[in-house]
């Protein structure tokens, strides 16, 4: 019996030695080192060009959507705002960036008012149709205009996920829709603590 206990202890120690040491356990998908979504360059609602370098020392959460989205977009932006709140003082080191996939309808004034509902420091970006297409392609984001039931009406199908950058501006995480504010806050806290 004693020999068996010793063997089990040695086997457990050997397995523990095989586990990755010091690697953070993120809830989102760790895509550190990905060769896409390295940056963006789009105008904000005041016409100023913005990129990751505008947010030094902050963890940046990027989400693509549109203002007339009935559920996914407001839910995700609410989760970003709630994650910041859950982080307490650390929340000031998180920047939410909303990139519209519907620049035709999402005029600057509308975008500015829309993101203000989720926090005074949320940034909205609106490029031309060509800029939007190029940025979405670089991020591997799918979006498509789909005609609605009423003549002239339409909605946008789009990828529902967040891209999360660490305070050094490196792409680190891909957070799927519906993961929740607490999971996002936990991941952001890990990234901020590594900085």
Q: Largest alpha-carbon pair distance within the chain?
A: 79
Number of CB atoms found within 10 A of residue 47's CB: 8
Between CA 27 and CA 101 the distance in angstroms is 27
Tens of pLDDT, residue by residue over 124-138, are 999 999 999 999 999
Task: Map out the domains of the chain as residue ranges.
Answer: 24-194
- Give the pairing of strands 29-30 and 171-176: antiparallel
Residue 70 assigned ligand-binding role:
no
Residue 18 assigned ligand-binding role:
no
Q: What is the CATH number of domain 24-194?
A: 3.40.30.10
Number of CB atoms found within 10 A of residue 24's CB: 15
Residue 69 assigned ligand-binding role:
yes
In whole angstroms, how far apart are CA 85 and each of 30, 82, 117, 122, 194? 23, 5, 14, 13, 20
Between CA 56 and CA 143 the distance in angstroms is 29
- Each of the 195 residues of the chain gets a pLDDT tens digit; together they read 444 443 333 344 444 444 445 667 999 999 999 999 999 999 999 999 999 999 999 999 999 999 999 999 999 999 999 999 999 999 999 999 999 999 999 999 999 999 999 999 999 999 999 999 999 999 999 999 999 898 888 999 999 999 999 999 999 999 999 899 999 999 999 999 987
Q: What is the number of helices (H) and of strands (E) in the chain? A: 5, 10
Q: For residue 62, what pLDDT is reported?
A: 98
Question: With helix as H, strand as E and coil as C, how does 115-149 read?
Answer: HHCCCCCCEEECCCHHHHHHHHHHHCCCEEEEECC
Question: Strands (DSSP E) along the chain, which ranges?
Answer: 29-30, 42-43, 49-50, 59-65, 94-100, 123-125, 143-147, 154-158, 161-165, 171-176
Nearest Cα residue to 28 out of 144, 149, 176: 176
């Amino acid at each position: 019996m004693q020999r068996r206990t010793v063997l089990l202890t040695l086997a457990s120690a050997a397995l523990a030695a095989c586990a990755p040491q010091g690697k953070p356990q993120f809830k989102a998908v760790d895509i550190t080192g990905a060769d896409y979504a390295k940056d963006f360059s789009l105008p904000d609602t005041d016409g100023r060009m913005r990129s990751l370098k505008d947010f030094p020392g902050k963890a940046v959460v990027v989400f693509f959507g549109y203002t007339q989205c009935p559920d996914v977009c407001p839910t995700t932006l609410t989760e970003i705002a709630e994650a910041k709140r859950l982080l307490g003082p650390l929340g000031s080191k998180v920047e939410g960036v909303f990139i519209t996939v519907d620049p035709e309808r999402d005029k600057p004034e509308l975008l500015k008012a829309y993101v203000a509902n989720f926090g005074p420091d949320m940034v909205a970006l609106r490029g031309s149709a060509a800029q939007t297409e190029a940025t979405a392609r670089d991020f591997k984001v799918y979006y498509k205009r789909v005609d609605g039931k009423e003549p002239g009406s339409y909605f946008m199908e789009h990828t529902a996920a967040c891209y999360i950058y660490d305070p050094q501006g490196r792409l680190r995480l891909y957070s799927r829709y519906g993961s929740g504010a607490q999971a996002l806050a936990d991941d952001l806290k890990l990234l901020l603590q590594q900085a």
